[in-house]
């Protein structure tokens, strides 16, 4: 999608309509004609651009999963990574987070949206790791962090949801960075 002009305005108004209607009428009552009416476009505009409701919901979900802020800087890698992992787990495992992950995957026929979700997490971790290197700390690479922190959190949310709490997030970060220090 081009980022400017009419195309961008249509996208913004349709996304807003979906978010509003999701909270007003809920997922099951949502239809393309209802979204079109609220957004002030024709249903065929939506079908042409998004294919169907599930693909539209996937795009909206990815937009909602985009991190709004940079990871916090607490002065050292272990604290930064732990804080990031706790917040990531908290957001993704919440009921709205789970619904967005599910929507993002379901209407994502070519894998673009799932890839975007993964890229968001990788970008955030990259910031944490680059900051650590700038301080002179040893920092693992981002793909290892994806395997050791993001993957188990997302896998457990989708397939094995018991026991997902802040203690779990702290434990996987401690094991990832090596249990050398101030952690319990």
The residues of the shown chain that bind a copy of itself, judged by CB under 8 A, are 102, 105-106, 111, 114-115, 117-118, 146-148, 150-152, 154-156, 158-161, 172
The smaller minimum CB distance to a copy of itself, of residues 77 and 149, is found at 149
The smaller minimum CB distance to a copy of itself, of residues 50 and 176, is found at 176
Least Cβ distance, residue 71 to a copy of itself (angstroms): 19
Least Cβ distance, residue 166 to a copy of itself (angstroms): 16
The smaller minimum CB distance to a copy of itself, of residues 39 and 142, is found at 142
Distance CA 164, CA 52 (A): 33
Query: Closest Cα to residue 17, out of 42, 35, 40?
Result: 35
Least Cβ distance, residue 41 to a copy of itself (angstroms): 27
Least Cβ distance, residue 134 to a copy of itself (angstroms): 26
Q: How many CA atoms lie within 13 A of 26 on its CB side?
A: 2
Q: Is 144 left (phi over 0), alpha (psi -120 to 50) or beta?
A: alpha
């Amino acid at each position: 999608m081009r980022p400017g002009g009419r195309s961008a305005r249509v996208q913004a108004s349709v996304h807003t309509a979906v978010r509003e209607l999701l909270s007003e009428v809920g997922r099951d009552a949502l239809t393309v004609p209802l979204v079109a009416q609220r957004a002030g476009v024709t249903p065929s505009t939506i079908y042409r651009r998004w294919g169907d409701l599930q693909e539209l919901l996937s795009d909206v979900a990815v937009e909602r999963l985009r991190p709004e802020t940079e990871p916090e800087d607490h002065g050292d890698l272990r604290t930064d990574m732990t804080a990031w992992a706790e917040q990531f787990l908290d957001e993704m495992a919440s009921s709205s987070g789970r619904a967005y992950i599910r929507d993002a995957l379901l209407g994502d026929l070519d894998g673009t949206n799932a890839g975007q979700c993964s890229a968001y997490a990788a970008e955030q971790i990259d910031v944490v790791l680059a900051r650590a290197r700038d301080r002179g700390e040893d920092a693992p690479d981002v793909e290892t962090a994806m395997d050791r922190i993001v993957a188990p959190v997302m896998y457990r949310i989708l397939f094995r949801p018991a026991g997902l709490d802040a203690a779990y997030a702290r434990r996987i970060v401690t094991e990832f960075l090596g249990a050398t220090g101030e952690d319990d």
